[in-house]
Amino acid sequence: MKRGFSFSLPVTVVVSAIVFIYFCTVFIFIDRWFGLMTSPGIMNAVVFTGVAFMCVFNYGFAIFTDPGRVPSTFMPDIEDSKVPIHEIKRKGGDLRYCQKCSHFKPARAHHCRVCKRCVLRMDHHCIWINNCVGHANYKIFFIFVVYAVIACIYSLVLLVGSLTNDSQNDEQQSADSFRTAYVISGLLLVPLSVALSVLLGWHIYLILQNKTTIEYHEGVRAMWLAEKGGNVYNHPYDLGAYENLTMVLGPSIFCWLCPISRHIGNGLRFLTAYDGISAASTSK
């Protein structure tokens, strides 16, 4: 499902930064280091353009893909034995109900105050894509971050290499004319590379645990309460590292970095560790 377009200043800033970094990388860093008409220059320009294209492509998809809506007709089946206990509120034992949307919500769905609706498997609301990161666009958002990290580090290497080459050739007058572009690019690329790398590492951790950002913070509190009561808290959706990866990125490793999400299901029901236990006990 696609979303409508609305102006967003953070998105405009991101797009402007991407365009600026791309043109500086190709037409200044690569050109001044290798020369665009040489084989190394053409190869680096083509590879960087491919990475930048995938970055922009996934960024656009993350913006315009609806993260997942709770159907207005959704009603939990309390008589279904497959409905696990963790889909019930911890306080009071009631079914999960959104007072603001006035309808029931499935497990892992949360209400977004910015979007003013419930989002399936909500991770967080991201101002940089002017959209929630949820069930339908989480993989796309993650892939965007992967390509963004690669592009930033690649561009930073080309920037350093270009500067080193300039100093070796002692072309001071020529270097001065591009000094502003080098300074601005460095001020953008260094913090972006660090911030995006940290963000990527964080989401790799979440994927390996099959958690959302919201579930991580809820789990910290649940773990504290469990330890206080002498119990051990286990995240119900943790199926093991490889299974967790395939749940988000897909069953085929060749499609992990492609924006394909046919495997994700409807977002109303997710496999849990309890399902495996139930299946094992039934087969005995």
Catalytic residues: 126
From the DSSP assignment, how many helices (H) and strands (E) are in the chain? Answer: 9, 6
User: Based on the number of CB atoms within 10 Å of its own CB, is 58 exposed (0-12), middle (13-18) or buried (19 or more)?
Assistant: buried
Whether residue 123 contacts residue 94, with contact meaning beta carbons closer than 8 Å, is answered with no
| Residue 208: half-sphere exposure toward Cβ, Cα within 13 Å | 6
Q: Look at residues 142, 104, 129 and name the one whose alpha carbon lies nearest to residue 247.
A: 142
The alpha-carbon radius of gyration of the chain (Å, integer) is: 23
Query: Alpha-carbon distance 62 to 37, whole Å?
Result: 35
Q: Is the dihedral of CA 265, 266, 267, 268 positive or negative?
A: negative
